[in-house]
């Protein structure tokens, strides 16, 4: 069955300070079993985020028995990717059309189409975009009762996703179901802080070299995971 128009939304919105967290390198929040993401009691899921990276994991949920199934939402090549596998039935839903804009806020909503339907629709801030195909049909999320990870995963080897990286430098302001918002801070690892940098994903600093007659300055990211090489020439009197 063709997708009854999966929508994705794009705009700016306010943040609830109690539900705002910055996930740095290898940062994640963990919630124990029983936090069912999609069930008959929680038939929708919302997650609000901002990132400067083009790839990474936003949300990863599993079943209580290891290796039996998972559900994941992330960013892949600057597009929303939803990937899940229940009973060796791997499915992917990837955003088509416009890519996500770096450092912009997005709210992604996953909604059941109608009562009694196994299909879902996606909303991403009020603008309708298309996805590759409708892969939600015939899927039962009732048994997704294992651990839930937000913003990453502690062990890249242990996750089952095919394309999503296990880490993401991102600001996440809210993860919620109809039952209420999930507290992003209470289960945070040391690499998650309770507020997002203003106006940008990564905090930058600068270095300045100066003399009596001239000076030069340039930005350095405080969270680079690669080597930084500085090369300069000078002459003295």
pLDDT at 125: 85
Alpha-carbon separation of residue 103 from 71, 75, 169, 187, 204 (angstroms): 25, 13, 11, 25, 14
Q: What is the pLDDT of residues 11-70, one digit of tens each?
A: 333 333 357 899 988 889 888 755 566 666 557 788 999 988 889 999 988 877 766 688
Locate 65 and state its tokens: 């028995």
pLDDT at 233: 59
- Is the domain 17-193 a CATH 2.60.120.200 member? yes
pLDDT at 15: 37
Task: Give residue 200's Cα distance to chain centre.
Answer: 16
In the chain, which stretches have pLDDT less than 70?
1-18, 33-42, 66-68, 112-120, 126-144, 200-237
Read off the pTM.
0.72
Q: Which of 102, 121, 103 is nearest to 112 (CA)?
A: 121
Average per-residue pLDDT for the chain:
72
Give me the residue spans of the domains in the chain: 17-193
């Amino acid at each position: 069955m063709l997708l009854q128009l999966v929508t994705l939304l794009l705009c700016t919105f306010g943040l609830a300070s109690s539900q705002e967290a910055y996930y740095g390198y290898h940062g994640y929040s963990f919630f124990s079993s029983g936090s069912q993401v999609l069930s008959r009691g929680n038939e929708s899921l919302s997650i609000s985020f901002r990132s400067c990276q083009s790839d990474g994991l936003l949300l990863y949920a599993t079943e209580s028995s290891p290796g039996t199934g998972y559900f994941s939402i992330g960013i892949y090549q600057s597009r929303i990717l939803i990937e899940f596998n229940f009973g060796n039935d791997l499915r992917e839903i990837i955003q088509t059309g416009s890519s996500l804009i770096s450092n912009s806020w997005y709210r992604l909503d996953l909604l059941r189409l109608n009562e009694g339907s196994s299909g879902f629709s996606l909303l991403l801030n009020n603008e309708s975009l298309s996805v590759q195909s409708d892969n939600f049909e015939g899927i039962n999320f009732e048994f997704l009762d294992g651990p839930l990870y937000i913003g990453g995963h502690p062990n890249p080897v242990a996750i089952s996703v095919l394309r999503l990286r296990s880490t993401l430098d991102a600001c996440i302001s809210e993860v919620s179901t109809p039952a209420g918002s999930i507290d992003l801070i209470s289960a945070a690892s040391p690499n998650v802080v309770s507020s997002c940098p203003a106006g940008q994903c990564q905090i930058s600093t600068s270095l300045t070299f100066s003399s009596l007659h001239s000076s030069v300055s340039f930005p350095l990211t405080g969270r680079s995971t690669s080597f930084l090489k500085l090369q300069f020439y000078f002459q003295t009197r």
